[in-house]
Amino acid sequence: MNKLWDKPPSPRPAAAPSALPAGVVIRHGGREVRVAPATILAPMAGITDTVFRRFLRGLGGCGLIMTEFTSADGLIRSERVARRYLSFGAEERPIAAQLFGSDPEVLAQAAELVERLGFDAVDLNLGCPANKVVKCNGGSGLLRDLPLLARLFTRIRAAVTIPFTVKYRAGWDERTLVHVELARLAEASGVNALALHARTRAQGYAGEAQWQWIAAVKQAVRIPVFGNGDVRRPEDAAALVAATGCDAVMIGRAAANNPWIFRQIEQYRTTGHYDLPGAADRAALIGRYFSLLAAERSPGALGKMKQFVAWFTHGVEDGATLRKLVYECRTEQEALDRVTRFFGIADDTWQSAVETSGTAIAASNR
């Protein structure tokens, strides 16, 4: 279940770029979140921290971004959790904070804190398949208890005035699918939008996403529905919308491998074509991200550098050498220096990335 990537899915029926929507609005009362373009960065633990989110925003094309999923219990118990997971910069808007947990009162308190921190929306995670989350009845573990979900939805909805959304999987396994029933329950409880990862908990990240499940949810409810699963190219995004009628496309692992994908989708929607990054583009991307991590002194920055270089060096000449150079590093600065030397670029080349990165809004300053 920890695999970052699986084998490519079978080809999907082609669709015209015009199938892609220009945007969607998530509404609650007088509050609106405009998602334009109609693309969303999925929450990913260990990846979608504030540095990655601002880095991605700089590339353009993403309509809404989400934080890493955050423990509601940890959030209300510790200021440190709020500072680490729920700090964000103004340039990240619109932004939603994703929570996980199983206690209605705890989740309601955490949602209230999310609203006070200034987030545009709050999202509930019902999709994480990790054992350590499921065994606490969080994430996709809650798919087995719809009565509890009804209480969670109602309590969170009553606690906040910002839009409330849910990201979920289709069921625990293919014998216990709840995607349509849960969607109707969520809508009746005041949830304002749904994102369906069209796999079951048992699948993890393997096998093909079953897009027909997204189509069934879209037909069952009137609130916006976001499709998630097996979108790796702009053509896939258009095919997903054409096949399901979903209102927006949510992308997770593909964005971690190709942060340009949101910009490419918007290019494809408006022109029918999109740019492909070359080796120089990947070099600049690696340098910019490393500079941001080093400047922010982000928790686990060195580990993130090593993870990042593994994703992006497959498009760079002699990428195996660069991977080895970075894997051997013991400090963030050493990794940045080795990247700089590898590409033969002056030390100050990446400085503009740091100077224009914006200032994070610390949760501790709320």
Per-residue pLDDT of 313-352, as tens digits, reads 766 788 889 999 999 999 988 998 888 888 876 555 544 4
pLDDT score at 352 = 47
Domains and CATH numbers, the chain: 17-271 (3.20.20.70), 279-356 (no CATH)
pLDDT score at 1 = 34
Q: Percentage of residues in the chain with pLDDT exceeding 70?
A: 90
Residue 297, pLDDT above cutoff 50: yes
pLDDT score at 355 = 42
Q: Percentage of residues in the chain with pLDDT exceeding 90?
A: 63
pLDDT score at 315 = 66
Question: Angle between the 332-343 and 319-327 helix axes, to the nearest 10 degrees?
Answer: 160
How many CA atoms does the CB half-sphere of 54 hold within 13 Å? 25
pLDDT score at 243 = 97
Higher local confidence (pLDDT), 358 or 260: 260
Per-residue pLDDT of 2-48, as tens digits, reads 344 445 666 788 899 999 999 999 999 989 999 999 999 999 988 89
Catalytic residues: 128
Bridge partners for 35 per DSSP: 24
Average pLDDT of the chain, as a whole number: 88
- Widest distance between CA atoms in the chain: 60
Give the pairing of strands 24-28 and 31-35.
Answer: antiparallel
Per-residue pLDDT of 94-132, as tens digits, reads 999 999 999 999 999 999 999 999 999 999 999 887 778
Per-residue pLDDT of 130-166, as tens digits, reads 778 887 778 889 999 999 999 999 999 999 999 999 9
pLDDT score at 45 = 87
Q: DSSP states of 150-197 as a string?
A: HHHHHHHHHH-SS-EEEEEESBSSTTSB-HHHHHHHHHHTT--EEEEE
Residue 205, pLDDT above cutoff 70: yes
Closest C-alpha among 166, 149, 27 to residue 98:
166
pLDDT score at 84 = 83
Q: What is the mean pLDDT of residues 187-198?
A: 98
Site of tokens 């959790």: 81
Residue 292, pLDDT above cutoff 80: yes
The pTM of this model reads: 0.89
Site of tokens 């029926």: 13
